[in-house]
Amino acid sequence: MGGRRRGRMGRWVLAALAVAVSAGCERSREEVIEQTRELRGLRFVIRVYAEPSDALWKAISDAFDRVEEVQRLLSEWIPDSDVSRLNEAAGSTEPLAVSPELVRVLEVARQVSERSGGAFDVSWAVLRQAWGDFEQADIDPLSKPFRAKVDRLRAKVGWDKVEVDPAAGTARLAERGMQIGLGGIAKGFAIDEAASVLRRLGFHDFVIDAAGDVLVSGRRGGRDWNVGIRHPRGEPGETFAQFPLRDRAVATTGDYEHFLEASGQRWPHVIDPTTGFPATRCVSATVVHASAMVADALATAAFILGPAAGMELIRGYPGAEAVIVDPNLGVHVSPGLEPWVGVRWLKESKRETR
């Protein structure tokens, strides 16, 4: 459970793992109401800009409760979650009745999978049997036995083997041994659901940050919010570009937070389901979209696809924008963000933020 805090908002109201959100002014006289909760290893922060009231505290609490409810349904780490039950039933001839939440997430996942050519694929999770949690030091990804294991597991991967029937409220994994993991989409869905709770209860000016994925709603003092993109090779909290944002979500997938060092190489934690090995075409991919769930999935897909194919994918989503940093630290920007992202090459060393 998090504590309540009231305070004045300075220039930066949020410094997330992947993005930083700032107000468009140096000082504000309005109240900043903040609560933080650690929910199954993820730090969720909700800041609402409103007069303190019992109704506000209840709205924030209800929003956090909704996040926990989503996690109970969609986490593969909870034994009786919908995802765990679906994984256990993989290969069954009978579809499994699941929650409307899982149906919605799987429908969006399927759409992104199809449009990305399988770069985004929730059935990647079976590959975790080879790569583990990316913290063990006793694997050799370049060895023939390891590659053979990956190939065997990859045969179980396939977004088209994840069957969903929205009308019946059922889902099925077509092949025995399949597993799904929603790490690239469920967090965004939880953010969207928390935002829906706040808006339904009458609060429209807020920021929700979930370990780097951010949703910004409303305005602050008549101005849009500014979102800063984290420098993937800079100091913690260092950004290389900022742009104004309102009623949008931002998600970033990067190679800098969680990775494995083995066989003399650094292996990012994001696995390309088409190869079974970590994706190496990008060092970060940031996506802006009205839905945090869609932004989350698209950021993962763009990171795996690389700059050219990633931008092509983004163009297929009206209103979506992206900033992708390639392994040479070249910066690729979609047209809608070009006026705000002036830098085209980054440096490894610390540099002044824009």
Residue 195 resides in a domain: no
Beta strands (DSSP E) in 123-258 are 162-165, 170-173, 206-210, 213-217, 225-230, 239-245, 248-254
Residue 148 resides in a domain: yes
Residue 226 resides in a domain: no
Q: Which of 133, 127, 121, 123 is nearest to 91 (CA)?
A: 123
Residue 116 resides in a domain: yes
Domain at 139, CATH number: 1.10.3980.10
Residue 21 in contact with residue 214, Cβ under 8 Å? yes
CA distance 157 to 153: 7
Going residue by residue through the chain, which has 354 residues, state the pLDDT in tens, using 9 for 90 and above: 444 333 333 223 333 333 445 544 444 445 779 999 998 888 999 999 999 999 999 999 999 999 999 999 999 999 999 999 999 999 999 999 999 999 999 999 999 999 999 999 999 999 999 988 666 667 888 899 999 999 999 999 999 999 999 999 999 999 999 999 999 999 999 999 999 999 999 999 999 999 889 999 997 767 787 888 999 998 888 999 888 899 999 999 999 877 887 777 888 889 999 999 999 999 999 999 999 999 999 999 999 999 999 999 999 999 999 999 999 999 999 999 999 898 888 987 544 333
Report the number of distinct structural domains present in the chain: 1
Residue 143 resides in a domain: yes
- pTM for the model: 0.89
Domain that holds residue 144: 82-173
Residue 323 resides in a domain: no
Residue 155 resides in a domain: yes
Residue 102 resides in a domain: yes
